[in-house]
Structure 1
Amino acid sequence: MIQNQGLEKKVEKYQYNTLHILGDGSYGTVYKGINTLTQQPIAIKVIPRSKVYDAEALSFELRILAKLKGENIVRLHETLMTQNNYYQVIDLCDGDLKQLLDKQKFLTEQEAINLMIDLLKGFLELIQNGIIHRDVKPANILISKGKYKLADFGFARLVDNYAQQLFVTVLGTPLYMSPQLLQNLQYSTKCDIWSLGFIFYEVLFGRTPWNANSIPELIKNINEKPLLFPDKIKQVNDFVKDVIRRCLVINEDERIGWYDLYKHPLFANHFKDIADLEEICNNKEKMIAQTLRNEIVRKDLSLDQLVIKLNWGPQVTIKDIDNLFTRVDPQLQRIQIEHIFNNMEKANNQYLTLQEFQRWLDKFQIPFSSYRQNPMECFRVIKQTMKNYNRTLDQYFDKFNEAKDGKLKYEEFKQFILRCNNQIFDSWIKSSFEFLDRKKQGFVTLQELQQQLDKTN
């Protein structure tokens, strides 16, 4: 009897055998393959074009995968296309969590904690890129050299505000879906937190916290049967139980959020930047506010002028804030921007009004233009600077007088004032210069400035 050898398939530099099936994804079948040029083993996800009813959704998944490079995300190497199929060339892993649980039923407590840490690392990258997974289950958690990786982003989507945004589309695998998804209710990115808690429980105790033969039965069991820990199967520490309880809260508003999950005592040591997010964001917020203050004050802007300059509408979105803040600090992380935005936005409606934005500016004492031009202030600044550093006017004057002719042109005078205090309004500097240059000669002399300083209190 001839044994089925399978079919050898080749797509450009990649080759695979149809017998070497690794699993099924949301669109197609995954095979073990090889890069024929480098001999590197890879996985190839084959997606028949005939099964792709929404090419845009598939294209979206590919764009998502291309953005993700972390070690706890299954990486997309490249995408190929033929007349009949799409091909995703991805990391080859050793197996998935479902296969592992089928073999050994459950993990030790420390192994389960390590699993959660790996998954939270993967989700941190999703958060930074504004991506919600929506189909977290053991079959979509792959294992490579002992490291757990998130896979299969067929149901994923982009999110503007990870902590707050709400959705209504129902996708995912029923057993691991949150109650909101099961009942076609509005939900947030906390649906993935429910799935993580569900899996955490399962890998510890070898069974899911609730089970059922249908979605209505599953909803009924979740609502009516309390969450119980089978201590006779395994004793786990109180921190572990606390994480599971808080992940599996039915009401989303009361379910633990991402920020609190990362700073939970069970995980905080592995996510110091998140555990210290409040302090980090507060410091960055002050720095950004101070930079904006200098710009607004120096240019003597009104709120209307600022809004026009930024091309904002009457409602300020998180993207508007992102664009503004990252101009000031390009190193700002998405989770930090969201944290600051959500502290600014109290109504939980995904946008700021201009009044809310102004209240935030007022919190940092950032004034808008309501000042009269005050030429005397510049002279006071010069006098105070000389006093602080025990210098004479001619020492300063000579430093900015490039022609060494005892005459400061306007730009030289301006740089002189700004060196003394870089928060002086441009309009004040101009007014001071015109006050001294009454003859409209285009310069001020050392003698004219000294005489004015002598009169200045």
Structure 2
Amino acid sequence: MIQNTGLEKKVEKYQYNTSNVLGDGSYGTVYKGINTITQQIVAIKVIPKTKVYDPEALSFELRLLTKLKGENIVRLHETLATQNNYYQIIDLCDGDLKQLLEKQQTLQQDEAIKMMLDLLRGFLELIQNGIIHRDVKPANILISKGKYKLADFGFARLVDNYAQQQFVTVLGTPLYMSPQLLQNLQYSTKCDIWSLGFIFYEVLYGRTPWTANSIPELVKNIQEKPLLFPDKIKQVNDNVKDVIRRCLIINEDERIGWYDLYKHPLFSNNFKDIVNLDDICNNKEKFIAQILRNEIVRQDISIEQLVQKLNWGPQLTIKDIESLFLKIDNKLQRIQLEHIFNKIEKANNQYLTLQEFQQWLDKFQIPFQSYKQNAMECFIVIKQIMKQFNQTLAQYYDKFNQAKDGKLKYEEFKLFILRCNNQIFDTQIKSAFELLDKQKQGYVTQQDLQLELDKIN
């Protein structure tokens, strides 16, 4: 039982004393409390309903916290409500980074790097769930048994595309805000990267890279005063300085991105899945395309019919692609989905056109697992016959093009394939013909066919 001179409060199975204040969050005060049944010590965030101007925003924060399970995120155990207050029961931590810096001013370089690794692990959880924090500051970095954890998601929000999405709403703590937020400009999830770089600098040198007495003065200092590393105060290695420099680039387009931050030499050994993200995503992408093509052939439907079946419009969002891809691979991670989507989407406008989706499908000429479903088998047998008899495609094409007009109609194409191998199924021939006749003109050209043959080793 907690003994104190303040008022004893009890909410269901939890009890706390009003003198045991741990800190203040976005909406309310955090107290040290206890679960009277299990005797577990917890933190209880008390949020007066009179201070909640937007209940939906609070509800949103609670939903966000419920989704987050990582070790470097302060975990929400449950939420309670009385007539006057909301109560969040969260992990009890030993303190926060702000309090630690007030005691000892700086962290040693190894400890500062460890802090960054912990925070990057926390952000990886946010990225996987499509969440931007927008208020990263020392007071919102809690410490529990030497482990640094992200806390206070009062300004957080969901994003569709972590790597590309832009925002205009200004929230957060001015000193740690990126220049874009300070100037009410459009910004991206890289605003959190700026805050991380700002804090990384502060914990090493005991002061922030820029200071000011007002937001206009802070913006002016950031824009006009160069980023300096006070080596007389502390020597830090070149990789540390490089991370800070790249996090604190004013122009967001030039500022380091999330994936490159994880792949930086200072951190890469701890994030192998991110370092190898390209290879992992290439394999995922190939698998998804193969299964999708198999299904298209199995159902004997065109791409247009597939789009209609999925109820897609002329522009596809990442959510449209997610709903399809997760049906094929339910282990696909959000970070992988985004990586694949952004490779397909060429214009960087958050939308994928049907033409881009078609081009993506065309890129994968994959042998299907089922022989009957394998449209590519038609092209393989042509290639094999050409190689066996040392003849060119033109020689075969002219032989079956009766009109000599350079246009091989379906029946001619079918006769051509069956002459190469009479075990090929009609569904395979039809699929191969439709693959070549994208414009549905009723014929295929020698050039179209040659392009497909060139893709086969």
TM-score, normalised relative to structure 2 = 0.81
Percent sequence identity over matched residues? 79
- Equivalent residue letter for 1:137: K
**1:277 positional shift:** 0.4
**1:380 positional shift:** 7.4
User: Where does residue 442 of structure 2 map in the other structure?
Assistant: none
- Equivalent residue letter for 2:157: R
Range moving further from structure 2, 36-45 or 291-300: 291-300
User: Where does residue 209 of structure 2 map in the other structure?
Assistant: 209
User: Where does residue 46 of structure 2 map in the other structure?
Assistant: 46
User: Where does residue 389 of structure 2 map in the other structure?
Assistant: none
User: Where does residue 394 of structure 2 map in the other structure?
Assistant: none
Q: SS at the partner of 2:340?
A: helix
User: Where does residue 100 of structure 2 map in the other structure?
Assistant: 100
Q: Distance in 1 between matches of 2:187 and 2:423?
A: 62
Q: Distance in 1 between matches of 2:421 and 2:115?
A: 61
**1:424 positional shift:** 3.5
Q: SS at the partner of 2:210?
A: coil
Q: How does 1:265-304 map to 2 (within 5 A)?
A: 265-304=265-304
Is the counterpart of residue 18 in structure 1 residue 25 in structure 2? no
**1:361 positional shift:** 1.2
User: Where does residue 348 of structure 1 map in the other structure?
Assistant: 348
Structure 1 spans left out of the alignment, 5+ residues = 385-416, 429-457
User: Where does residue 370 of structure 2 map in the other structure?
Assistant: none
CA change 1:232–1:298 in 2 (3 A) is same
Q: Distance in 1 between matches of 2:301 and 2:163?
A: 33
- Equivalent residue letter for 1:87: Y
Q: Distance in 2 between matches of 1:330 and 1:83?
A: 42
The structure that has the greater radius of gyration is 1
User: Where does residue 389 of structure 1 map in the other structure?
Assistant: none
TM-score, normalised relative to structure 1 = 0.81
**1:299 positional shift:** 3.1
Q: Distance in 1 between matches of 2:197 and 2:120?
A: 12
Range moving further from structure 2, 280-289 or 139-148: 280-289
- Equivalent residue letter for 1:171: L
User: Where does residue 361 of structure 2 map in the other structure?
Assistant: 361
**1:365 positional shift:** 3.6
- Equivalent residue letter for 1:60: F
**1:289 positional shift:** 1.2
User: Where does residue 312 of structure 1 map in the other structure?
Assistant: 312
- Equivalent residue letter for 1:288: I
Q: SS at the partner of 2:142?
A: strand
CA change 1:292–1:207 in 2 (3 A) is same
Range moving further from structure 2, 132-141 or 318-327: 318-327
Answer whether contact 2:417 2:429 (CA < 8 A) is retained. no
What does the per-residue CA deviation read over 1:156-198, in whole Å, with 9 as the maximum and x for residues that have no partner? 0000000000000000000000000000000000000000000
Q: Distance in 2 between matches of 1:364 and 1:213?
A: 57
Q: Distance in 2 between matches of 1:379 and 1:89?
A: 73
**1:255 positional shift:** 0.3
Q: Distance in 2 between matches of 1:174 and 1:226?
A: 19
Q: Distance in 2 between matches of 1:257 and 1:160?
A: 16
User: Where does residue 74 of structure 1 map in the other structure?
Assistant: 74
Q: Distance in 1 between matches of 2:357 and 2:119?
A: 36
Q: SS at the partner of 2:57?
A: helix
Q: SS at the partner of 2:148?
A: strand
CA change 1:424–1:104 in 2 (3 A) is same
**1:310 positional shift:** 1.3
User: Where does residue 9 of structure 1 map in the other structure?
Assistant: 9
Q: How does 1:168-183 map to 2 (within 5 A)?
A: 168-183=168-183
Q: Distance in 2 between matches of 1:143 and 1:190?
A: 24
User: Where does residue 149 of structure 1 map in the other structure?
Assistant: 149
Q: SS at the partner of 2:279?
A: helix
User: Where does residue 401 of structure 2 map in the other structure?
Assistant: none
